[in-house]
Structure 1
Amino acid sequence: MKKLIILFLLFSCTTTFAQKRSGTVQYKYTIDWKKIYQELSSLSQKEKDRIQLVYTKWESTSNNMDLIFNPTESLYTYGTSEEVARYSQRETDYVIYRNFEQKNIIELRETLGKSYLIEDDMPNQQWRIMNDLKEIQGHLCMKAVRTDTVKNQEIVAWFAADIPVSMGPELCYGLPGLILGLDIDDGNVIIEADKLELFDEPIKVELPKKMKGKAISPSDLDNKIMEHIKTSIAAKNNPYWSMRY
């Protein structure tokens, strides 16, 4: 009964808004380094205390990420505000393009000290839709959950059914509505829409002209990441200094 009420509310929102399927989203990406360090079982408490003392300014950092989308394509990369430019992470390569009509992806991801270029078919993502609701930027969003098996992280997404596109930030997509919020690993990373603009007519989605990186398959990159996490933990290091959380 509760789920029927939630679905009714979502469909009501869908009819209230004009079901615009093109737009831009600015997300605020916040990573809580202090929480991440405290949860790393490979580090001793002495090492955690030392890190907290030395890196007090890095307890948490935020920057902006931008998503541009039309009914069939999306492009996600770093924002261009002055706030973002203050952080060195802004200089890394991170461009995520998806074509939902052709069901393919093009990604430029700098990780483990190298830039990798991925061009492949779009894999399906398995989500469990829950009963919880949350309002983001004036849109009633429904909760969905999945597990990142590469990094062993739980991902919570909040999607707006009244914006009927399957796009989202980071590497997340495939829900019956635009993802406006993400919670990665119980608050270690929070990504939420800060600004949202929708358009009546489709807008153009263009890849950057320069996309240079070592060609690699998604499975090979996943294997590199898993091996890096394994060896970093064995060496009692933080695996996320050289990769995106």
Structure 2
Amino acid sequence: MGQKIIIFFVLFLTAVSYGQTTRYVYETLVNPDSINLVSMKSERTFLDVKGERSLFISENKLKRDSLFNSFRSELKEAHKKEEKDFSKSEGAQHFEPTFFEYFITKSIPEQKVYYYEKEAGKQIYYQEDRPVKWEITNLIEKQNGYPAQKAVAEFGGRVWTAWFTKDIPVSDGPYKFSGLPGLIVKLEDDKGDYKFDLAKKITIKNAFEEQLNSDAKQSTRVNFHGDKAALELEFGKNRKAIAGNTESGNINAGGRHSGGMNGGGMRGSGHGGGGMHRSGMGGENQSSPISQGSSAEVPSFTNTTQNPIELK
């Protein structure tokens, strides 16, 4: 009987731990322009660890995506019977721009890293094919409140210095970085453009999780930008076709009702092809998560270029 109770509690604690998300909050500094001397910009990034998987995402992107996800759910529940003006709803609030217009997932035991973006309303991703090769030193210092050990690696055209702590036995860290015998609590590159400092650790019962779409386009790191361009081209063609069909419908409707009280031209005027497109702070094109054809008006974001985190 006693052994059964012990087994029950072990299984219970395992289920609880896998159902909760541990969020590691990093205060992140970014130099947006590597050529001109500008002040560093600050943004918080999250590393959410749940079981054997993790999600790296910026706070600003997470807020925006979770709000859009909630809004889409509202549209589905209403079955689009009533048009809802997104600009007059809570979605009209100001969105802070982000330097990380993407999210990254990791399978921690296998050290598999997946990079996700959205292009022309479609999710596209690739599996990182370059494992980070760390050189672990014997230098130990206290960093952000933890005893930490120094490690160095070259990745994406930058030399990165990481400080990891064995006090948090999670082989993970910000962005694509992982593989050390402990959590990375401090990370910076040799050019001084990016700095990640662990600020706090919190537990969340129902953390927002980015949806991995079943129709997402799988690419490779080498072909990623070319595949994104192809998606953008396809989106442009479809939008022109929809616009052409709508214009044709307006002309036909106007001809049938010319001179009538109905005024004509209103039939066929829809919101199809209304996907909003912009250039994110990462220099990457980012489409709104609101699906095409929705009656919602999507808030616009500030267009900005960014000093890329990977130079090659």
Shorter-chain TM band: 0.5 to 0.7
Report if aligned partners of 1:104, 1:119 keep a CA contact under 8 Å in 2: no
* Amino acid aligned to 1:244: P
Aligned residues: 186
Report if aligned partners of 1:108, 1:115 keep a CA contact under 8 Å in 2: no
Distance 1:104 1:124 in 2: 9
Identical pairs, percent: 19
SS of the counterpart of 1:219?
coil
Distance 1:177 1:27 in 2: 16
| Structure exhibiting the larger radius of gyration computed from Cα positions | 2
- State the match for 1:66 in structure 2: 46
Distance 2:143 2:60 in 1: 22
Show CA shifts across 1:9-42 (max 9, x none): xxxxxxxxxxx997211111111346x22xxxxx
Report if aligned partners of 1:93, 1:115 keep a CA contact under 8 Å in 2: no
Q: In the alignment, which of 92, 98, 103 is matched to residue 95 of structure 1?
A: 103
Distance 1:166 1:63 in 2: 23
| Aligned pairs (5 A) from 1:102-113 | 103-109=111-117
Q: Does 1:166 align with 2:171?
A: yes
Report if aligned partners of 1:158, 1:182 keep a CA contact under 8 Å in 2: yes
SS of the counterpart of 1:88?
coil
- State the match for 1:142 in structure 2: 149
Q: Does 1:215 align with 2:218?
A: yes
Calculate the aligned-residue CA RMSD, in Å: 4.0
Cα 1:123–1:208 change in 2 (3 A) is same
Distance 1:198 1:136 in 2: 21
Show CA shifts across 1:55-88 (max 9, x none): xxx522110101111451111101159x997642
Distance 2:121 2:152 in 1: 30
Show CA shifts across 1:82-119 (max 9, x none): x99764226x63111111245533321469x9986324
- State the match for 1:181 in structure 2: 186
Unaligned runs of 5+ in 2: 1-16, 65-93, 228-281, 284-304
Q: Whose relative contact order is higher, 1 or 2, with alpha carbons under 8 Å and at least 6 apart?
A: 1
TM-score by length of 1: 0.60
Q: CA deviation at 1:196?
A: 1.9
Report if aligned partners of 1:147, 1:153 keep a CA contact under 8 Å in 2: yes
SS of the counterpart of 2:223?
helix
| Aligned pairs (5 A) from 1:220-231 | 220-221=223-224
Distance 1:243 1:119 in 2: 21
Cα 1:208–1:80 change in 2 (3 A) is same
Unaligned runs of 5+ in 1: 1-19, 38-47, 53-57, 225-238
Q: Does 1:117 align with 2:97?
A: no
* Amino acid aligned to 2:55: L
Distance 1:162 1:122 in 2: 29
Cα 1:95–1:105 change in 2 (3 A) is same
Report if aligned partners of 1:93, 1:108 keep a CA contact under 8 Å in 2: no
